[in-house]
Amino acid sequence: MSNMINSGGMRGQNGRNASNYRTNKPISLVFEKSSPGRHLFVLPDCDVTPDDSLPDNMKRKTKLNFPELSETELSRHYNSLAKQVYGVNSGFYPLGSCTMKYNPAINEKIASLWGFKNVHPLQPAYTVQGCLEALSLCSKYLCAITGMDDMCLQPAAGAHGELTGLLIIKAYHESRGDQQRTKVIVPDSAHGTNPASASMAGYDLISIPSDENGRLDLDTLRNAVGDDTAAFMLTNPDTLGRFNPDILHITQIVHEAGGLVYYDGANLNAIMGITRPGDMGFDVIHLNLHKTFSTPHGGGGPGSGPVGCKKHLTPFLPIPHVVDATDDSPFSFSYDFPQSIGKVKSFYGNFMVCVRALTYMITLGSDGIKEVSETAVLNANYLMRRLGEKYDVFQPDGCMHEFIISMENMKKDYGVSAMDIAKTMIDYGIHPPTMYFPLIVPEALMFEPTETESKETLDEVVEIMFEIYDNAIANPESMHNAPVSTYVRRLDEVTAARSPVLKYEFGDGSDNGSGKEND
C-alpha cells in the first residue's frame, strides 16, 4: 500500500510525508514536552510589592502546572500540529452537504479592517454606522438571492437557524390562535439537524418515507398534512443532490393545510441566481454563510445561519432589527417588535462572518454568484459522470451540486465498505467524502466538489478513485487498514462515540488549574 503514497500528482499534496512519522508514536501534548526551568521569555525583576490581601482560603495551594518549553520547542510543536491539519488549502475536500469551497483571502482582509475589527458591540449606534450598513446590505443581498422579504443575521449556525425559524413559525401560529398545530413533517432523507431542531422547538415529529428512488411522494405528503401541521421542512435540491420538480405542488399542499414551509438552505450552492426558495413558495429559510458564502468552517470556528422570511413572519423575527438610514436619521437598531421571539444570540450574531459573506457577494456580483452555482453543478455532474465509469452512482441521470455513489455491491462482492474507500482516500491526500448519509442509500459516499476546483484537479481525483477501485478488487484486505500514512490510524469509531475520553489526566496528580483543592 505504501507505494501508492507520494507516488506523484496529488498524492502527498497535503504536506504529509511518511518520513515525518514514527509509527505508532502518539502525539505528545505540550505538557508532556515540558521540562522544568525552560523558558521562552525574559522578564525584568518585579519592582512592586505583590498584593497579599487575598483571604487564605482563596489562594492556590499548589503551583500552576504550566508547560515549560524553549521557544524553539514551542514553535516546532505547533508547527508540527499545523502540518497535520487537512483543510481546503491542503487539497481536494469533497465533503458532501458541507460545501468546503475555497474561501478567498480578500474576505479575511476586509474582515480585518480596523473599523470592523475593533468596534465593540455596545458602542452607540451612531459610532458604528458603517457596521450597521454592512449588516443591512448583507441582509438585503441575501434576501435578493433567496426571494425573502426580511433576514435576521443573529443565529450562529445552520442548526441554530432552524431552531430560530421554527420558533418564528410557532409564534406565528400562536398569534392566530392556531394552538393545535403541534407537528412538524420532515422527509426521511433530511439532514439530521431538521428533526432535532423540530423537537428542540417543542414539536412532535412526523418523518415521511421517500419512494424507492429517494424522492418525496406527493400522496404521502398529502396524507401527512392536516390541521395539526405547523410546518414542513425541506431542502431543495434534496440531500441526494436532485432538484424537486414538484416543488410548487409541495408548498401548495402544505399551505392549503394551513402549515408553513421551511427551506433548509444550509447549502445554496446549486441554485443561486437561478431559482429562489421565495419563488418556490417557502415561508422561512435559513442559510449557512459558513458554507455557501465562504467562511472557513470545520473545526469549530464561528459560523452564521441567517434566517429569512416572508413579510407575514417579519414581526416574529429576533430583535433588534437594523433600521436603514434616511435623509433625516442615521442607521439604528429597533427593538420595537412586540411579537418578536426575542434575542437568539448575544448582540447581533457573528458579525465578522457576515462581513466575509458581504465581501464575497460584492466581489462576485450577481453574475458571479450565478456562475458559482453553474460551475458547482457542472463540476458535480462532470465528476459524477467520470466516477460512474467504474463506481455505482445512485440516480446517475444528473445531479445538482452533489451526488452519491454506493459501495453496496463492492461490499457484497469484495467486502470493501464505503468506510474502507473513504479512509483509503486519506492516504492519497484527499479528504473523505461524507459517509453513510443520507441514510436511505446503503454504503453511501456523498461527493460535493464545489465550484472552486479545476478540471485538472477533478481528473486527477478520478484517476486516484479508479486506482482505489482497482485495488479494492485486487487487494481487498489491504483496504481495511487505511489510512496508513496518518499520525492516527483507523479509529475505533464505536468506542470513540460511546466512551469518548474528553479530558486529559495529568499522571503526576498535580493541580492543572482546575482549582479543585479550593472547591
Ligand X SMILES: *Cc1c(COP(=O)(O)O)cnc(C)c1O
| Residues engaged in binding ligand X (CB under 6 A) | 97, 157-159, 191, 193, 235, 264, 266-267, 288, 303, 305
Q: How far is the CB of 295 from ligand X (least distance, A)?
A: 11
Nearer to ligand X, 272 or 468 (CB): 272
Nearer to ligand X, 103 or 193 (CB): 193
Q: How far is the CB of 159 from ligand X (least distance, A)?
A: 3
Nearer to ligand X, 97 or 154 (CB): 97
Which residue lies nearest ligand X, judged by its C-beta?
A: 158
Q: How far is the CB of 201 from ligand X (least distance, A)?
A: 15
Q: Are 360 and 369 in contact (CB under 8 A)?
A: no
Position 434: which residue type? T
**How far is the CA of 304 from the CAs of 143, 355, 365, in angstroms?**
15, 11, 21
Q: How far is the CB of 228 from ligand X (least distance, A)?
A: 25
Q: How far is the CB of 401 from ligand X (least distance, A)?
A: 11
Nearer to ligand X, 269 or 379 (CB): 269
**Alpha-carbon gap, residue 357 to 349, rounded angstroms:** 13
Nearer to ligand X, 153 or 266 (CB): 266
Q: How far is the CB of 294 from ligand X (least distance, A)?
A: 14
Q: What is the C-alpha end-to-end distance of the chain, expressed in Å?
A: 53
Cβ contacts of residue 3 below 8 Å, gap of 6+? none
**Alpha-carbon gap, residue 285 to 309, rounded angstroms:** 6
Task: Name the DSSP class of 282.
Answer: -
H or E element in which residue 373 lies: helix 351-387
Nearer to ligand X, 12 or 349 (CB): 349
Nearer to ligand X, 16 or 290 (CB): 290
DSSP 151-189: EE---SSHHHHHHHHHHHHHHHHHHTT-TT--EEEEETT
Pairing of β 183-187 and β 229-234: parallel
Nearer to ligand X, 235 or 379 (CB): 235
Q: How far is the CB of 6 from ligand X (least distance, A)?
A: 33
Q: How far is the CB of 258 from ligand X (least distance, A)?
A: 25
Cβ contacts of residue 310 below 8 Å, gap of 6+? 148, 149, 278, 283, 284
136: closest CA among 149, 156, 152? Answer: 152
